[in-house]
Amino acid sequence: MSVTPLQALPLELLRQRSSTKWRKYPEEVLPFFVAETDYELAPPITEALTRAVRLGDTGYTPPDPGVREAFAGFAARRFGWDVDPAHIFWTGDVMMGVVEILRRVIEPGERVVVMTPVYPPFFDTVEEAGGVIERVPLARTDRGWGIDLTGVEAALRAGARAVLLCNPHNPTGTVHARESLAALALLVERFDAMVISDEIHGPLTYAPGGFTPYLTASAAAAARGYAVTSASKTFNLAGLKCAVMIAGGATQARVLKALPAEVEWRTGLFGALANVAAYSADSDAWLDSLMAALAQNRALLGELLREHLPLARYRAPDAGFLAWVDVSAYGWGDNPAPHLRREAKVALHHGPLFGVEGKGHVRINFGCAPEVLREGIERIGALVS
């Protein structure tokens, strides 16, 4: 059955938004830098939030906002993952969850494996938890990027106590294979360490069934793992604070249950309401339409780069609406984004912020109207034509 792609909102309407994407730079700059998308909210989310505003329902988040059951249902439908509801907890956002879990699985000064290039807050989160960053770059192959298991093993052997995993990976869009995740779990088990997996981009995987939640990769993964996720990236809810923390087993569930009450209290009521609505079956059709739109743009970006920036290196992501593009051949320096913002009036994310592997790279958000994406790449192409 064919799915009608979701239509992005027009620029004149989007510019009325007050979020970072539309307020950081002047109007003449096209924004592709931050992970906000340009679509209407899923109708169930709009309905839930509208009802809350009409009721003046703007108080504290209740002890059980329904997030647990909603996420468990979503995971079963979309990933085939049977999550024990007793293993599900919530907090304000994914990085809050990561730092609180890290504080329980490492001691100050212990090392945490981070697979670069990676989402810049990973670095800050490890330091906030008192850890020391142990960089293990992703392995680059003809088929894309993957976990450098040899590098991870060396880091764990040298004393690293935890692995902070990004699955699917940001910025490369890599969906780690089940076999790779299971092999990672065996290493972690051997060296008595722990994995915390940021899985916020999981619902945005293109191939049906292609995403493997880390905790489902093997019994070893479940025994020594946590996952943290949210509906915020998929459903564009970053300003509404709510994330889900999932324990791989009863031992980790006791750790999450023992977290200070304030960790749960950081969840915003609107965030909880929106996440419950997003995870409901009523939002599945909207998500299918979103994925159809993103799949078109993912292909379009490849075409535009071949036409206007033929020296750029781009591998279509396995998941998400973020493209990791190497433009080093054009001589725009280690950090091309400021130059492109000044000269082309196009704002992209700064590659070096993701680690030294990001030199000469930019990250492009293609969760927008095709014509906006086309104009952005044409503007950059005009610099080299």
CATH number at residue 369: 3.90.1150.10
Asked if residue 156 and residue 110 are part of one domain, the reply reads: yes
Give whole-number Cα distances, 64 to 89, 145, 233, in Å: 10, 39, 23
Torsion, Cα 322 323 327 328, to 10 degrees, reads 80
Tokens of 76: 């079963």
Is 1 among the domain residues?
Answer: no
Reduce the DSSP state of residue 211 to 3 states and report it. coil
Domain boundary among 282, 301, 322: 282
pTM of the predicted structure, to 2 decimals: 0.97
Asked if residue 106 and residue 69 are part of one domain, the reply reads: yes
H-type alpha helices, 1-84: 11-14, 20-23, 43-55, 67-79
Asked if residue 294 and residue 170 are part of one domain, the reply reads: no
Is 352 among the domain residues?
Answer: yes
Reduce the DSSP state of residue 278 to 3 states and report it. helix
Asked if residue 274 and residue 143 are part of one domain, the reply reads: yes
Asked if residue 274 and residue 373 are part of one domain, the reply reads: no
Asked if residue 164 and residue 118 are part of one domain, the reply reads: yes
Q: How far apart are CA 385 and CA 379, in angstroms?
A: 10
- How far is residue 320 CA from its own chain's centroid? 8
**Which CATH number goes with the domain that contains 51?**
3.40.640.10
Helix (H) or strand (E) holding 218: none
Asked if residue 173 and residue 222 are part of one domain, the reply reads: yes
Task: Please give the residue range of the domain that contains residue 293.
Answer: 11-40+284-381
Confidence of residue 282 (pLDDT cuts 50, 70, 90): very high
Tokens of 351: 């590659």
What tens digit of pLDDT does each residue of 68-79 get?
Answer: 999 999 999 999
**Do strands 144-146 and 162-166 pair parallel, antiparallel, or not at all (unpaired)?**
unpaired
Domain boundary among 236, 253, 282: 282
Residue 113: phi and psi, rounded to 5, are -75, 130
Residue 339: phi and psi, rounded to 5, are -65, -45
Q: Which of 320, 326, 325 is nearest to 205 (CA)?
A: 320
What mean pLDDT do residues 129-158 have?
95
What tens digit of pLDDT does each residue of 305-316 get?
Answer: 999 999 999 999
Reduce the DSSP state of residue 378 to 3 states and report it. helix
The predicted pLDDT at position 1 comes to 67
Is 227 among the domain residues?
Answer: yes
H-type alpha helices, the chain: 11-14, 20-23, 43-55, 67-79, 94-105, 121-128, 149-157, 178-190, 219-223, 232-235, 250-257, 261-265, 269-279, 284-308, 336-344, 370-381
Is 309 within 8 Å of 377 (Cβ atoms)? yes
Asked if residue 195 and residue 143 are part of one domain, the reply reads: yes
The predicted pLDDT at position 162 comes to 98
Mean pLDDT of the chain: 97
What mean pLDDT do residues 255-277 have?
97
Confidence of residue 385 (pLDDT cuts 50, 70, 90): confident
Domain count, the chain: 2
Is 5 among the domain residues?
Answer: no
Given 3-state DSSP classes, what are the helix, strand and coil percentages for the chain, each rounded to the nearest 5? Answer: 45, 15, 40
Domain boundary among 259, 282, 305: 282
Is 134 among the domain residues?
Answer: yes
Is 364 among the domain residues?
Answer: yes
Of all residues in the chain, the percent with pLDDT exceeding 90 is 97
Cβ neighbours for 161, distance < 8 A, ≥ 6 positions apart:
105, 106, 107, 110, 111, 112, 193, 194
Reduce the DSSP state of residue 82 to 3 states and report it. coil
Is 4 among the domain residues?
Answer: no
Cβ neighbours for 63, distance < 8 A, ≥ 6 positions apart:
none
Asked if residue 226 and residue 315 are part of one domain, the reply reads: no
Torsion, Cα 228 122 305 206, to 10 degrees, reads -10
Tokens of 373: 């994406």
Asked if residue 195 and residue 103 are part of one domain, the reply reads: yes
Asked if residue 206 and residue 111 are part of one domain, the reply reads: yes
Asked if residue 351 and residue 205 are part of one domain, the reply reads: no
